[in-house]
Structure formats: structure tokens, C-alpha cells
Chains A and B, each alone.
Chain A
Amino acid sequence: ETGVTQTPRHLVMGMTNKKSLKCEQHLGHNAMYWYKQSAKKPLELMFVYNFKEQTENNSVPSRFSPECPNSSHLFLHLHTLQPEDSALYLCASSQDSGGYGTDTQYFGPGTRLTVL
């Protein structure tokens, strides 16, 4: 266990549904991330939050809406998704030390999303 949990582990949704992915870290970190992992493609960074503030939005379509209510929880709200959005969505956390520390990113197990 890495200290980062994600729910649900699997999700099937239609294109008109609204669903949310949840991530929780028990490591006391101050930075959290959402990544998309598609087959045969590199992990794609979607969003970064530092101290609950969004510091990175990697040109992600607005049908993905992140929310970070506190440093331990991160959500990804999904609505009107497309079949090409089917992928493994990974959450990660780190202790952002401004470049002076390890800044290791710890990943959760991911949510396998299928959009029909």
C-alpha cells in the first residue's frame, strides 16, 4: 500500500452520465495530482494541486472538473464524457518542498474508467 487510495476501482458510465472519482492520501502531503493512463501512451498529467490550489491544468477538456477540498482529498468530476476518455485514471501525491527535497510522487491504484 502506498498510502494513496482511490475509489471506485472500476467505473462504467454512459456518455450522458455524471460521476466522480475520489482520491485520498494518508501521507500528510501537500500536493496532489490527476494523471490519465491510456494504452501505449505515456502517463499524461492532467491537474496539479498544491495546498488545495490548482497550479497546473494541462489543457484538459472542461468535461473533467477537479476539486480539492483539502490537502488530503482530491476529486475528479466527470460529465458528458466520450468513449476516447476510457482509460486508467491515477491519483498521486507528494510533499512539495520547492525543489529542495525528494518530491517523490506516490500513486494510488487507479480507477479503470470505461465510457460507453
Chain B
Amino acid sequence: GENVEQHPSTLSVQEGDSAVIKCTYSDSASNYFPWYKQELGKGPQLIIDIRSNVGEKKDQRIAVTLNKTAKHFSLHITETQPEDSAVYFCAASSGTASKLTFGTGTRLQVTL
């Protein structure tokens, strides 16, 4: 089955700096890669996703890149703000998105 590894497990950046979280996956058939943000006391919320026919996708301060050959994808957050502090999860899925395999999460702390 699919295996997703996520690094780092914790990340501390100063406000205004960039943050990068990386994930690798094992199943070459995977074609859908969402990123979720989970704040304290809430469920994960989708912040951006990418499909295998695209190499990069951007939404304001958030971008995701995908390297299918190397089987890794990354989340980039620019100009970080305190409200970006949360746990971020990557996931991968093949076929439909009904079977997502998640990474172990990255706790991002944005300090003033």
C-alpha cells in the first residue's frame, strides 16, 4: 500500500519568513496530493491540493510543488503570519480521493 513520509515533524520560523514542508510517497500510481491544516480543537481543513498532471500550484501565500519522478511534493508558505501556526498534514491518493494516506504531520510555529 501507499506510504507517506513527512518532514520535519516540527518547524519554527519567524513571522515574515518562509516555511517549507516536504513529503515523499511510495506508490507511483498516486495522482492526488492534498495538504490539510489542523488548528487546535478543529478537524483538518484543506488548504491546497495538486494533481499529478501539474507540477506546481499557487494560492496567494501558499504553493505546492510536485516531482513525480522523485515521488515527493512540498508545501511552501511565504510571508508567514502567527495565524499560520498549526499542524500541517500531507496526503496522497491513487484513483479516487476516497482512500487518502496521510503523513504524520508538521507542527508549524510562527514566532513574532
In the bound complex, how far is the Cα of B104 from the Cα of A105, in angstroms?
18
Among candidates B4, B100, B101, B105, residue contacting A105 with C-beta atoms closer than 8 Å: B100
Q: Given that A42-B105, A43-B89, A109-B41 are known contacts, is A104 also in contact with B46, CB under 8 Å in the complex? A: yes
Q: Is B98 an interface residue, CB under 8 A from the partner?
A: yes
Please tell me the size bucket of the interface on A: 20 to 34
Residue of A nearest to B36 (CB): A107
- Residues of chain B contacted by A99 (CB below 8 angstroms): 95-97
In the complex, the answer to whether A42 meets B101 with C-beta atoms within 8 Å is yes
Q: Which A residues fall within an 8 A CB radius of B?
A: 2, 4, 31, 33, 40-43, 45, 48, 50, 55-56, 90, 92, 94, 96-99, 102-110
User: Chain B binding site: helix, strand, loop or mixed by DSSP?
Assistant: loop
Give chain B residues whose Cβ lies under 8 Å from the Cβ of A103.
Answer: 32, 96-98
**Which chain A residues lie closer than 8 Å to B95 at the CB level?**
99
Q: Do the beta carbons of A2 and B43 come within 8 Å of each other? A: yes
Nearest-CB distance from A92 to chain B (Å)?
8
* Contact assessment for B43 and A4 in the assembled complex, using a CB-CB cutoff below 8 Å: yes
Task: Give Cα A33–Cα B96 distance, bound, in whole angstroms.
Answer: 14
